[in-house]
């Protein structure tokens, strides 16, 4: 058989064979989320309360002044932590030695919330608790650029895309500045 003819036949067999088409889909497919599918994922197995001893040592940010100065200078990636600043004057800290938790403080350095992540890889669920251990909100972090956040009664609070948070009517409701 002619090598060129064999190559053409092999090309068409691979192109139109459903097994190869399925393998291609499995290798290159990705999970996509919308408001409802993200809600279903995050509410499966939720803990509405956690033991507040988990974050007792973080009730005050003793590096508050330094953290705020770094935020103003745009230094968000530090040796031992990553900072995020929000337009409501709160800020978050992800300590590199505690990658499953994010701590949120008011401008005076008092803890207001703690996030608990289910994974370090996207997509992952997270649950935000107040300083009494009660759930405040929950969400799915789909990627670096996209996050869905819900109230404890499963209503959409915000859909973050990049630096903007949108409500269910697609209005910008908050902005942030962060580095990841």
How do residues 23-43 score in pLDDT, each as one tens digit? 333 333 356 888 888 888 888
Q: Is residue 157 scored above 60 in pLDDT?
A: yes
Q: What pTM value is reported for the model?
A: 0.71
> In this structure, is the dihedral angle defined by the CA atoms of residues 121, 112, 155 and 45, taken in order, positive or negative?
positive
Query: What distance in Å separates the CA atoms of residue 62 and residue 85, rounded to the nearest whole number?
Result: 17
Same domain as 86, residue 108: yes
How many structural domains are present in the chain? Answer: 2
CA distance linking residue 117 with residue 101, whole number of Å: 6
User: Mean pLDDT throughout 91-101?
Assistant: 96
CA distance 118 to 128: 12
Let me know whether 82 and 153 are in one domain. yes
Q: pLDDT confidence of 178, banded at 50, 70, 90?
A: low
Alpha-carbon distance 85 to 74, whole Å?
A: 10
Burial-class residue 130 by CB neighbours within 10 Å (0-12, 13-18, 19+): middle
Both 111 and 66 in one domain: the answer is yes
Same-domain check for residues 69 and 140: yes
* Rounded alpha-carbon distances, angstroms, from residue 148 to 49, 95, 130, 139: 20, 23, 19, 5
Same domain (yes/no): 77, 51: yes
- Residues 106-131 have pLDDT tens digits of 999 999 999 999 999 999 999 999 99
Domain containing residue 51 = 31-178
């Amino acid at each position: 058989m002619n090598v060129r003819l064999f190559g053409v036949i092999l090309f068409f067999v691979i192109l139109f064979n459903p097994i190869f088409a399925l393998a291609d889909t499995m290798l290159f497919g990705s999970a996509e989320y919308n408001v409802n599918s993200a809600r279903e994922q995050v509410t499966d197995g939720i803990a509405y309360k956690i033991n507040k001893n988990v974050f007792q040592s973080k009730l005050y940010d003793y590096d508050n002044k330094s953290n705020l100065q770094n935020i103003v200078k745009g230094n968000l990636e530090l040796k031992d932590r990553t900072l995020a600043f929000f337009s409501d004057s709160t800020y978050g800290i992800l300590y590199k030695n505690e990658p499953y938790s994010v701590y949120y403080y008011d401008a005076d350095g008092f803890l207001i919330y703690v996030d608990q992540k289910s994974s370090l890889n996207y997509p992952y669920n997270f649950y935000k608790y107040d300083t009494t251990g009660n759930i405040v909100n929950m969400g799915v972090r789909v990627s670096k650029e996209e996050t869905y956040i819900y109230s404890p009664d499963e209503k959409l609070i915000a859909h973050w895309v990049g630096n903007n948070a949108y409500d269910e009517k697609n209005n910008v409701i908050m902005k942030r500045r962060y580095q990841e």
